[in-house]
C-alpha cells in the first residue's frame, strides 16, 4: 500500500507510506485521493490529518514520471491539491521532515500545517529546470508573502521551521522525539480545530499582501538574481509565475502557473538538470559491487603533504568534524601549512561564514607531525605530495609499514598510475586514488580512482565518506588523466589551436563562456600555469608528437618565461585582477601559423564551441568504451562539478545526446575534412560514438558492464 488510512477519535489519518520518499507518482496520488474521499464522505469524521511514515514528509512529484503520460494522469498533482483545498473539514498537514516540491504544495493546500522540529520546507523545482506546478507559486505568496515566495522558489533552498513559522507557513512546531508522538499531537490539534469550528481556509479567499510588493518588485528581483542565474531559463519564469499571483485570482493564477510550468518542462535545460539529479544518485552504484557491503570505520584521517592541496584536503575533514593529522617532512613546511589552513578559516570568519569559535573548533581537530610513526592508528591516509611516481611510491612504501591493517591508502594524484602506486605496498586492496580539485576545500568534485585490486569495501567506504565531506564522488578507472584531465586535453587543444588559425585568445574564451563555461580554456591555462600544461603534454608526448603545432603557442610562451597569471604574463597580460590581450602573443601565433602553413581566417563562435565541446564528448566516448567511466552521467558530473560546465546543459555527454549523436558525428566529420591534415588527425569520431549514432541511441543508454 502507498497510503495507510485509519481513524482516531473522529479524525481521519492519511499516512503517506511509499518508501523511500513518498514521491507522488500516479499510484500514490490515487491512493491519497481515495483515502481523502473516504474521509470527506464519512459523517463521523470531523477532521483530517495527512502525515508520513518515511523520514521525509514528501519529496514531491515523481521525477521518474516526467515526460510520460503518468505525470499528468488523473488525479494530477494540481487537481489533488485543489481537491484538498476544497475540503469542508479541517485538513492538517503534519510535516515530520523534508516537505519538498509537490510535497510542500500538498501541505499548502491543507488548511493548517504543523511540523516536527528539524523539518524543512522547500520548492526545489527550479533545480530541475521547471517551476512549482501544483500551486506553489500561487499559494505560497498568499500564505506568506512575495519576498518569501520569490526567495524560496527561485533559489530552491528549503527553509527551517523557525523561518516557516515567521513566514506564516506553519501554525505549530512540536519538539517531540518520535513520529508516534508527533502523530498524536497532530491528531489532537486537528480534533481541537474541528471542535472549535476553526475556519477551513482556502487561498481562493486570500490575496497576496499588497504591502509585500510594488510595481517594480518583479523586474527588480530578476535584476537581482541575473548574475547568479545567468543562462538559466526557469528562475525568471518562477518570478513571472509569482507575479501572476499578484495580478490574478487563484483559479486563473493556477492556470497561468500551469502554462509557465509547461513552457519550462519541455526544454533542453529541464532535461539536462533532471539528468543530473539522477546522475548524482546513479554515480553511487558500482557495477558488480553490493551497495550494502559492510563499510570500514573512518574515525581519523591523515594527509601527507601540507601544501596548498594537502591543507585544502585536510580542511574538508575538519569541516566535517573528523580529526585530521597533517604530515610534512620538515617542521617549517608543516607550520606553514597549518598557518595557511588557519588563514583560510579566518578569511571565512571575516566573510561571516564561520564564527571565531568555529575556527578554533576546526583548528583543534588538526594535529601536525613530521613522523610517519604518528600515523599508526589512522583509518585513511591521503597522500598529496609532489606529482612524481617515484616520490609517491616511496611514501606508500612507508605508509605500508606504519599504517594499521585495513587503513585505506589514497593518492591525490591527478594523472599517475594508481596501480603502480598500489604495487609499492603489500596491500593493493587498500589502495585507491582520491583526486581532489583545487581549491580542494571548495571544489565539489572528487574523482575516486578504482585500481585493479582496490577492495569493494574500501571503494564504497570512500564513496560514503565523500558525501560526508560534501563532495560529489565519481568512480573512474586508471588511465592518464582519469576522466576530467584526460578530456580537458583535446578540449584545451582546440581552444588554443583556433588562435593559430586567426581567432584572438579573447574570442576563444568568449565563445566558451557564452556557451556557459565558467571560464574559457585559455584563461584556465593561464590560471593553472602554462608550464603545468606543457609538463602534462610532455608526459604524453608520444600521443601527439606527429602534430608539430600541438601546444606550440604554449611551449613558446613557456620558453619566454610567460607562465600565466603567476608571472603576470601568459597568453594575456595581468595587471592585478585585470587581464589584457597582448599583441605580441597574436604576432607569435601568426608566426607559428606561417611556419606551419596554417592559413589565418575568421573563426566563428559556433566553430570554436563545436570543436572544443564536441572534443569533450568524443573523448568521453572513448572513455566509456574503455570502461574508464561506467556511464555517461558520471562523465557529466565530472565536468559540472570539476570544470565549470553549465548545469543547464547537463554536461558534455548530455549536450551531445541533446544534439543527437548523428549530428555530433556529422559535425566532427565536417571538421575532419575542412581542417585538412589537422582535421584528419584529430577529428575522427570515436568508434562508440559512431556505433551509437548508427543505432540511433544516446550515450545515456550505454553502460560498459
Q: Is 133 in the site for ligand T1G (CB under 6 A)?
A: yes
Instruction: Tell me the closest approach of the beta carbon of residue 124 to ligand T1G, in angstroms.
Output: 4
Q: Which stretch binds ligand T1G (CB under 6 A): 101-109, 439-447, 599-607, 653-661?
A: 101-109
Of 90 and 135, nearer to ligand T1G (C-beta) is 135
d(CA 676, CA 472): 41
Q: Which of 75, 90, 102, 516 binds ligand T1G (CB under 6 A)?
A: 102
Interface stretch with ligand T1G, choices 16-24, 86-94, 312-320, 642-650 (CB under 6 A): 16-24
When binding is defined by CB under 6 A, the residue of 11, 12, 100, 512 that contacts ligand T1G is: 100
Instruction: List binders of ligand T1G among 395-424 (CB under 6 A).
Output: none
Q: Element (H or E) spanning 410, and its range?
A: strand 408-411
Strands of 172-174's sheet, edge to edge? 3-8, 11-16, 47-52, 91-95, 112-116, 172-174
For 376, what's the count of Cα atoms within 13 Å in the CB-facing half-sphere? 3
**Whole-number minimum distance, CB 207 to ligand T1G, in Å?**
22
Among 97-105, 561-569, 605-613, 642-650, the segment contacting ligand T1G (CB under 6 A): 97-105
Output 77 or 466, the one with its CB closest to ligand T1G: 77
Nearer to ligand T1G, 61 or 675 (CB): 61
CA–CA separation, 303 vs 314, rounded Å?
A: 6
Whether the Cβ atoms of residue 690 and residue 622 lie closer than 8 Å to each other: no
With respect to ligand T1G, which residue has the nearer C-beta, 292 or 351? 292
Site string for ligand T1G, 261-290 (x = CB under 6 A): --------------------x---------
Helices (H), 580-660: 583-595, 605-625, 632-642, 652-659
Neighbours of 4 (CB within 10 A): 14
Torsional class of 135: left (φ above 0), alpha (ψ -120 to 50), beta (otherwise):
left
17-36 mask for ligand T1G (x: CB under 6 A)? ---xx-x-------------
User: Which stretch in 127-135, 252-260, 498-506, 697-705 sits in contact with ligand T1G by CB under 6 A?
Assistant: 127-135
The helix/strand/coil state of 437 is coil
User: Where do the DSSP E strands lie in 25-177?
Assistant: 47-52, 91-95, 98-100, 112-116, 120-122, 159-160, 172-174
Nearer to ligand T1G, 126 or 653 (CB): 126
Print burial letters for 100-119: b (CB count within 10 Å at least 16), e (below 16): bbbbbbbbbbbbbbbbbeeb
Question: Which long-range contacts link 257-264 to residues 24+ away (Cβ below 8 Å)?
Answer: 257/131, 257/132, 257/133, 257/135, 257/136, 257/137, 257/138, 258/78, 258/133, 260/131, 260/137, 261/130, 261/131, 261/132, 261/133, 263/237, 264/129, 264/130, 264/131, 264/233, 264/234, 264/237
Span near ligand T1G by CB under 6 A; candidates 123-131, 245-253, 482-490, 607-615: 123-131
Query: How big is the CA angle at 439 (ends 519 and 435), to the nearest 5 degrees?
Result: 100
In the complex with ligand T1G, which residue's Cβ is closer, 82 or 430? 82
Residue 101, interface with ligand T1G (CB under 6 A)? yes
Q: Which stretch binds ligand T1G (CB under 6 A): 7-15, 132-140, 214-222, 306-314?
A: 132-140
Residue 216 in grid coordinates? 517594480
Q: Which CB sits closer to ligand T1G, 239 or 304?
A: 239
Give the residue with the Cβ less far from ligand T1G, 238 or 692. 238
How would you list the strands of the sheet with 98-100, edge to edge? 98-100, 120-122, 159-160
**Minimum CB separation from ligand T1G for residue 677, in Å?**
47
Pairing mode, strands 324-327 and 366-369: parallel
- Minimum CB separation of residue 461 from ligand T1G in Å reads 18
CB of 282 to ligand T1G, least distance (A): 7
| Count of residues engaged in binding ligand T1G, rule: CB under 6 A | 24
Q: How far is the CB of 105 from ligand T1G (least distance, A)?
A: 6
Indicate which single residue of 75, 90, 129, 132 sits in contact with ligand T1G (rule: CB under 6 A).
132
Query: What backbone phi and psi angles, to 5 degrees, belong to 412?
Result: -90, 20
State which of positions 51-90 bind ligand T1G (CB under 6 A). 56, 59-64, 77
The SS3 assignment for 518 reads: coil
At residue 412, the 3 state secondary structure works out as: coil
Cell triple for 122: 522547500
Binding of ligand T1G at residue 481 (CB under 6 A)?
no
- For the bound state, the minimum distance from the C-beta of residue 658 to ligand T1G, rounded and expressed in Å, comes to 20
CB 640 → ligand T1G: shortest distance, Å?
17
Asked if 638 and 447 touch (Cβ cutoff 8 Å), the reply is yes
Active site residues: 105, 125
- Cβ of residue 686: shortest distance to ligand T1G, in angstroms? 29
Show contacts with ligand T1G in window 565-594 (CB under 6 A): none
Closest CA to 133 of 251, 235, 257: 257
Residue ranges in contact with ligand T1G by CB under 6 A: 20-21, 23, 56, 59-64, 77, 98, 100-102, 105, 124-125, 128, 132-134, 136, 281
Amino acid at each position: 500500500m502507498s497510503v495507510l488510512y485509519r481513524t482516531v477519535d473522529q479524525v481521519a489519518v492519511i499516512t503517506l507510506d511509499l518508501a523511500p520518499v513518498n514521491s507522488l507518482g500516479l499510484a500514490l496520488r490515487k491512493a491519497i485521493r481515495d483515502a481523502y474521499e473516504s474521509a470527506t464522505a464519512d459523517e463521523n469524521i470531523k477532521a483530517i490529518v495527512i502525515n508520513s511514515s518515511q523520514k521525509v514528509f514528501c519529496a514531491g512529484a515523481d521525477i521518474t514520471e516526467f515526460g510520460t503520460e503518468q505525470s499528468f494522469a488523473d488525479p494530477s498533482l494540481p487537481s489533488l491539491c485543489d481537491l484538498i483545498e476544497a475540503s469542508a473539514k479541517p485538513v492538517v498537514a503534519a510535516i515530520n521532515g523534508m516537505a519538498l516540491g509537490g510535497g510542500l504544495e500538498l501541505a499548502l493546500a491543507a488548511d493548517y500545517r504543523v511540523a516536527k522540529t528539524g523539518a524543512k520546507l522547500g520548492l526545489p523545482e527550479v533545480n530541475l529546470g521547471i517551476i512549482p506546478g501544483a500551486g506553489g507559486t500561487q499559494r505560497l505568496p498568499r500564505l506568506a508573502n512575495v519576498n518569501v515566495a520569490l526567495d524560496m522558489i527561485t533559489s530552491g533552498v528549503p527553509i527551517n521551521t523557525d523561518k516557516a513559522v515567521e513566514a506564516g507557513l506553519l501554525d505549530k512546531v512540536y519538539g517531540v522525539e518520535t513520529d508516534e508522538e508527533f502523530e498524536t499531537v497532530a491528531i489532537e490539534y486537528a480534533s481541537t480545530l474541528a471542535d472549535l469550528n476553526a475556519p477551513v481556509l482556502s487561498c481562493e479567499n486570500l490575496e497576496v499582501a499588497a504591502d509585500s510588493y510594488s510595481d517594480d518588485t518583479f523586474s527588480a528581483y530578476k535584476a537581482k538574481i541575473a548574475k547568479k542565474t545567468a543562462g538559466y531559463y526557469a528562475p525568471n519564469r518562477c518570478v513571472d509565475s509569482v507575479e501572476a499571483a499578484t495580478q490574478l485570482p487563484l483559479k486563473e493564477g493556477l492556470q497561468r502557473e500551469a502554462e509557465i510550468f509547461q513552457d519550462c518542462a519541455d526544454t533542453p535545460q529541464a532535461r539536462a538538470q533532471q539528468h543530473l539529479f539522477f546522475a548524482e544518485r546513479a554515480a553511487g552504484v558500482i557495477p558488480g559491487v553490493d551497495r550494502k557491503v559492510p563499510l570500514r570505520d573512518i574515525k581519523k584521517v591523515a594527509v601527507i603533504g601540507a601544501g596548498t592541496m594537502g591543507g585544502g584536503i585536510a580542511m574538508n575533514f575538519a569541516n566535517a568534524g573528523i580529526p585530521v593529522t597533517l604530515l610534512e617532512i620538515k617542521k617549517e613546511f608543516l607550520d606553514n601549512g597549518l598557518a595557511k589552513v588557519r588563514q583560510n578559516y579566518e578569511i571565512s570568519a571575516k566573510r561571516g561564514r564561520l564564527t571565531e569559535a568555529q575556527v578554533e573548533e576546526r583548528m583543534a581537530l588538526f594535529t601536525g607531525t613530521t613522523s610517519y610513526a604518528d600515523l599508526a592508528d589512522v583509518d585513511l591516509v591521503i597522500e598529496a605530495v609532489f606529482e612524481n611516481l617515484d616520490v609517491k611510491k616511496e611514501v606508500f612504501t612507508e605508509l605500508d609499514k606504519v599504517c594499521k591493517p585495513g587503513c585505506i591508502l589514497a593518492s591525490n594524484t591527478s594523472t599517475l598510475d594508481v596501480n603502480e602506486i598500489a604495487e609499492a605496498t603489500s596491500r593493493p586492496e587498500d589502495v585507491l586514488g582520491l583526486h581532489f580539485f583545487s581549491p580542494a576545500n571548495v571544489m565539489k568534485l572528487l574523482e575516486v580512482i578504482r585500481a585493479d585490486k582496490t577492495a569493494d569495501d574500501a571503494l564504497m567506504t570512500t564513496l560514503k565518506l565523500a558525501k560526508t565531506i560534501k563532495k560529489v564522488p565519481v568512480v573512474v578507472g586508471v588511465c592518464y588523466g582519469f576522466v576530467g584531465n584526460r578530456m580537458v586535453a583535446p578540449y584545451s587543444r582546440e581552444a588554443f589551436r583556433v588562435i593559430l588559425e586567426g581567432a584572438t585568445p579573447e574570442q576563444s574564451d568568449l565563445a566558451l563562456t557564452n556557451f556557459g563555461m565558467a571560464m574559457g580554456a585559455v584563461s584556465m591555462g593561464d590560471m593553472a600555469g602554462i608550464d603545468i600544461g606543457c609538463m602534462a603534454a610532455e608526459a604524453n608526448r608520444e600521443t601527439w608528437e606527429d602534430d608539430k603545432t600541438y601546444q606550440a603557442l604554449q611551449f613558446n610562451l613557456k620558453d619566454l618565461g610567460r607562465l600565466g597569471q603567476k608571472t603576470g604574463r601568459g597568453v594575456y597580460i595581468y595587471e592585478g585582477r585585470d587581464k589584457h590581450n597582448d599583441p605580441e602573443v597574436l604576432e607569435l601565433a601568426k608566426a607559428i601559423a606561417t611556419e606551419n602553413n596554417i592559413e589565418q581566417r575568421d573563426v566563428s563562435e559556433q566553430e570554436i564551441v563545436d570543436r572544443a565541446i564536441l572534443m569533450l564528448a568524443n573523448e568521453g566516448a572513448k572513455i566509456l568504451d574503455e570502461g574508464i567511466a561506467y556511464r555517461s552521467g558520471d562523465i557529466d558530473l565530472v565536468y559540472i562539478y570539476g570544470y565549470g560546465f553549465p548545469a543547464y546543459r547537463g554536461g558534455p555527454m548530455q549536450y551531445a545526446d541533446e544534439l543527437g549523436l548523428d549530428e555530433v558525428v556529422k559535425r566532427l566529420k565536417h571538421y575532419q575534412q575542412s581542417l585538412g591534415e589537422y582535421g584528419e588527425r584529430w577529428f575522427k569520431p570515436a568508434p562508440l560514438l559512431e556505433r551509437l549514432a548508427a543505432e540511433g541511441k544516446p550515450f545515456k543508454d550505454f553502460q560498459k558492464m
